[in-house]
């Protein structure tokens, strides 16, 4: 095919690109995936029965703040990695702040109770399924992000994949909070983070394959 | 680019047309002598510029975006072509390999022939390496036919014993 013909063909269909096209596209993927995840939480897991009550307590908001701020930082980093000339993802460093914050809260929490209760707090009642659920709930969001990336141009595929996985995992965990009745910081720090990290790891493995363009 | 993003097809075409020499120069500097690849890559990059134009941030310089896309496409191209070696280049590669082998062998032979008397060496070259008949070799070297035969025979014998010695 001659280059000239190609250019004619390409400029024949030029849909206008809105000002914040990249952010909109990513948001679209996130919302679509998030909706599926929310339905999965509602349908398969069910919201925690004491949700309204829990919303008056501090722990619910600490959990939400932890996963939500992680999700926000990861989303912003993902948006930067969707551009080909992206710099280093500074938002990923900021994402360390909530992790460190929750660590401090966990240590305080552990220090305030006798050590015989530590194991119970750490394992809670659902440690066997928590990470798995967080990971599974991240899958629809990750798929949504992959759809978004089809119009974006990441050049560091592994990092972009990992960050997309982190975003999906953190949003998945945020929605999982609506179900999970656990209320200890050290539980969240361990098992939520494990699920989120797993999502990021899988994202890093899939990124170079699925995000090529 | 900005008007193209606004949906102006003509401006978009103008932009793509203007990019052709820029990109061609970019790839020529990096992949000299592979003109077919350069044209393929050029077209792929134009398609990418078109399809992925939403990833351009209007507040940042256009060239850095463009060259990031071009660089990515080049690396991707190398990755692909690294996996599947083009078959049309194969003959050249084989010929080149044959040449090295032959030239190594020739150097060995030259070195060995230098160690025997020049008359025997010349006779062996003429008969065994160049493939002349005894009569042709005799007239070329201005020697008798039997002299040639004897020289070849003695020369080969001397070479054989030298090779044997060197292998001991």
pLDDT at A100: 92
CATH of the domain at B150: 1.10.10.10
pTM for this entry: 0.70
Dihedral sign from CA coordinates of A50, A55, A56, A60: positive
Domain co-membership, B39 together with B13: yes
Domain containing B135 equals 90-167
pLDDT at A22: 83
CA-atom Rg of chain A in angstroms: 20
Task: List Cα–Cα distances, B109 to B118, B123, B126, B158, in angstroms.
Answer: 14, 14, 13, 13
Contact assignment for A17 to B54 by CB distance below 8 Å:
yes
CB-CB neighbors (< 8 A) of A22 in chain B: 54-55, 57
The minimum CA-CA distance between B16 and chain A, rounded to whole Å, is: 6
Domain co-membership, B80 together with B104: no
The minimum CA-CA distance between A85 and chain B, rounded to whole Å, is: 5
The minimum CA-CA distance between A88 and chain B, rounded to whole Å, is: 14
For A:37-56, CB contacts with B below 8 A are none
Domain co-membership, B6 together with B77: yes
Residue spans of the domains in chain A: they are 20-109+117-210
Contact assignment for A153 to B48 by CB distance below 8 Å:
yes
Contact status of A102 with chain B (Cβ, < 8 Å): no
Per-residue confidence band for B98, with pLDDT thresholds at 50, 70 and 90: low
Tens-digit pLDDT profile for chain A (213 aa)? 677 788 878 877 777 777 777 888 889 999 999 999 999 988 888 788 777 777 777 888 888 899 999 999 999 888 888 888 776 567 888 888 999 999 999 898 888 888 888 888 888 778 888 888 899 999 999 999 999 888 888 888 899 999 999 999 999 999 998 888 887 888 888 899 999 999 999 999 998 888 888
CA atoms within 13 A on the CB side of A135: 15
For A:127-186, CB contacts with B below 8 A are 151-153, 155
Per the structure, how many domains does chain B have?
Answer: 2
Domain co-membership, B70 together with B94: no
Q: Which residue of B has its CA nearest to A21?
A: B54
């Amino acid at each position: 095919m001659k280059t000239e013909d190609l250019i004619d063909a390409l400029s024949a269909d030029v849909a206008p690109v809105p000002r914040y096209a990249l952010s909109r596209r990513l948001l679209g993927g996130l919302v679509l995936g998030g909706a599926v995840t929310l339905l999965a939480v509602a349908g398969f897991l069910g919201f925690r029965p004491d949700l309204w009550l829990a919303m008056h307590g501090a722990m619910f908001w600490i959990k939400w703040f932890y996963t939500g701020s992680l999700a926000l930082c990861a989303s912003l980093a993902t948006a930067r990695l969707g551009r080909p000339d992206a710099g280093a993802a500074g938002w990923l460093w900021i994402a360390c702040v909530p992790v460190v914050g929750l660590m401090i809260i966990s240590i305080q929490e552990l220090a305030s109770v006798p050590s015989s209760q530590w194991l119970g707090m750490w394992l809670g009642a659902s440690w066997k399924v928590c990470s798995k659920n967080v990971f599974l709930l991240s899958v629809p969001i990750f798929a949504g992000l992959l759809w978004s990336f089809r119009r974006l141009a990441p050049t560091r595929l592994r990092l972009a994949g990992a960050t997309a996985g982190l975003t999906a995992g953190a949003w998945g965990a945020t929605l999982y909070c609506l179900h999970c009745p656990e209320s200890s910081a050290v539980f969240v720090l361990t098992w939520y983070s494990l699920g989120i990290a797993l999502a990021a790891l899988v994202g890093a493995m899939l990124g170079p394959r699925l995000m090529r363009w | 680019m900005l008007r193209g993003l606004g949906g102006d097809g003509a401006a978009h075409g103008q932009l793509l047309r203007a990019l052709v020499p820029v990109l061609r120069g970019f790839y020529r500097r990096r992949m000299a002598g592979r003109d077919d690849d350069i044209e393929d890559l050029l077209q792929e990059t134009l398609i990418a510029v078109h399809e992925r134009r939403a990833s351009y941030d209007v507040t940042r310089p256009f060239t850095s975006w463009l060259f990031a896309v071009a660089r990515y496409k080049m690396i991707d191209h190398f990755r692909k072509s690294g996996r599947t070696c083009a078959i049309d280049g194969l003959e050249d590669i084989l010929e080149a390999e044959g040449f090295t082998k032959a030239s190594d062998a020739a150097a060995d032979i030259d070195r060995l022939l230098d160690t025997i008397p020049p008359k025997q060496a010349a006779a062996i070259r003429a008969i065994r390496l160049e493939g002349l008949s005894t009569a042709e070799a005799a007239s070329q070297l201005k020697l008798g036919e039997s002299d040639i035969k004897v020289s070849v025979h003695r020369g080969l014998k001397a070479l054989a014993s030298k090779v044997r010695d060197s292998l001991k």
